Amino acid sequence: MNKLIMYPHGGSGNHGCEAIVRSTLDIMSEAVPNTFNDKVLFSTRKNEDQKSGLDTVCKVMDEFVPLTSKFSLDYLVGAVKKNLLGDKDYFDKLGYRNILKNADRNTLALSIGGDNYCYGRPGLIYFMNQLIRKKGSNTILWGCSIEPKAMDKEMVDDLKQYKFVFARETITYNALLEKGVTGARLCPDPAFLLDKEEVALPSGFEEGNTIGINLSPLIMSYEENEGAAFANYTELIKYLINETNHQIALIPHVMWDHNDDRQPLRKLYNEFKDSGRVVFVAEDDSLNCMQLKYVISKCNILITARTHASIAAYSQCVPTLVVGYSVKALGIARDLFGTEEGYVFPVQSLKEKDDLINQFKEFATREAEIRKSLVAMMPEYKSRIVTAAKEIAELK
């Protein structure tokens, strides 16, 4: 194999997606040096990847390219093939022509969306996999989490066709084994090996005395009591201001128009900005994932809704309390600490406005213990990722 392609990728406005791409490229270069002449990322938001600088470490191409004219030769050929020859998928295949042109028997195709199998039927992924496999490429699902109850027959049939399915936590891994996915492997998320890049800390951020906070619209959509998550974050910040001497850093990690951490964080900032204790990090999306990881590494504790913000923290041995909603948060914490209890607080459990304060108080008493545990386990835990990449390298 001399070509590496990565798909599907929603764009670097989600800095977790960006982190997967950057770390994967580094991991593959270490595991199989001087092997891939071409490294291509297929993206639905190429402009975001160019802004973050991903186009400097790999080639970035549009995942889907629609036809722009019904008078083109491609359209006329497609109309004949669809209407006269019965090729119902011709126009879809034409839209994915960039992928088709880059996939062959010498291609390693990494499906890199960590939770793309979690949000309803991933029909487009099934279709892309079908196209790529027909070209003879080895397909691998890299660093995934999948809700066990989502693994219906159609999904399992697709998963069984991957050479390997690397689950990033044991809940997914055990479910894959139960479904008979023989290519299942257990491997931490590649972003645990993401490099950090030093940047100037924002004004008001006190290294050694700052609590990082991330809140996302996504977890708010999973809450059982409307407004519970925002109310709990509000009360937590009040508590930190009134009862501690910590600074508070609001840290967005996903900045898509339809799913933007800055929206709830901006409301929190506006409520507390006059205190002089609250800092809004990269409100203008000026930091890439490596720079955000550096800022997170300087926090005492991180309280986060986003999985890849937690991964940035865990990997730097920053004690992290996750306000989670899914298998990925539960599974990663369970693998790291032996239990999710006390490390993940399901957003569905937020009932009273002081629930998060109570969780934080208990968690903060264990800050030193948790950091010591992470320091002890992280080298071996991270080493499993390169081991997995070397198994991939042995594919023919």
Say whether both 151 and 66 belong to one domain. yes
In a domain, 205, yes or no: no
Q: pLDDT of 52-75, one tens digit each? A: 999 999 999 999 998 766 666 666
* pLDDT tier at 270, thresholds 50, 70, 90: very high
Question: What tokens were used for 252?
Answer: 């967005």
Q: H or E stretch including 70?
A: none
Q: What are phi and psi of 210, to 5 degrees?
A: -130, 135
Are the beta carbons of 292 and 13 closer than 8 angstroms?
no
Say whether both 10 and 143 belong to one domain. yes
Say whether both 164 and 242 belong to one domain. no
In which domain, by residue range, is 164 found?
Answer: 3-192+381-393
Say whether both 182 and 223 belong to one domain. no
Greatest Cα-to-Cα distance within the chain, rounded to the nearest angstrom = 74
What total number of domains does the chain contain? Answer: 2
Say whether both 161 and 17 belong to one domain. yes
Mean pLDDT in the chain? 93
Instruction: Considering only residues 86 and 316, tell me which one the structure prediction assigns the higher pLDDT.
Output: 316
pLDDT at 245 over 90: yes
Say whether both 46 and 142 belong to one domain. yes
In a domain, 24, yes or no: yes
Dist CA 229 CA 37 (whole Å): 47
- Domain containing 7 — which CATH number? 3.40.50
- Burial class of residue 204, CB neighbours in 10 A (0-12, 13-18, 19+): middle
In a domain, 148, yes or no: yes
Cα distances from 318 to residues 96, 265, 305, 309, in angstroms, run: 41, 21, 15, 11
- Burial class of residue 130, CB neighbours in 10 A (0-12, 13-18, 19+): middle
In a domain, 167, yes or no: yes
Cα distances from 269 to residues 75, 219, 238, 324, 385, in angstroms, run: 51, 19, 12, 22, 37
Question: Alpha helices, DSSP H only, in 43-136?
Answer: 46-52, 73-83, 90-95, 97-102, 123-134
Say whether both 261 and 183 belong to one domain. no
pLDDT at 151 over 90: yes
Neighbouring residues of 331: CB distance < 8 A, sequence distance ≥ 6? 145, 168, 169, 170, 171, 172
Can you tell me which residue has the tokens 């967005």?
252
In a domain, 246, yes or no: yes
Are the beta carbons of 257 and 216 closer than 8 angstroms?
no
Mean pLDDT throughout 81-85? 65
In a domain, 375, yes or no: no
Mean pLDDT throughout 74-92? 66
Say whether both 327 and 386 belong to one domain. no
Mean pLDDT throughout 121-150? 95
Dist CA 222 CA 219 (whole Å): 5
Say whether both 44 and 180 belong to one domain. yes
Say whether both 88 and 39 belong to one domain. yes
Say whether both 157 and 18 belong to one domain. yes
In a domain, 376, yes or no: no
- Domain containing 332 — which CATH number? 3.40.50.2000
Say whether both 111 and 258 belong to one domain. no
Query: Residue 28's pLDDT is what?
Result: 92
In a domain, 74, yes or no: yes
Q: In the 8-state DSSP scheme, what is residue 14?
A: B
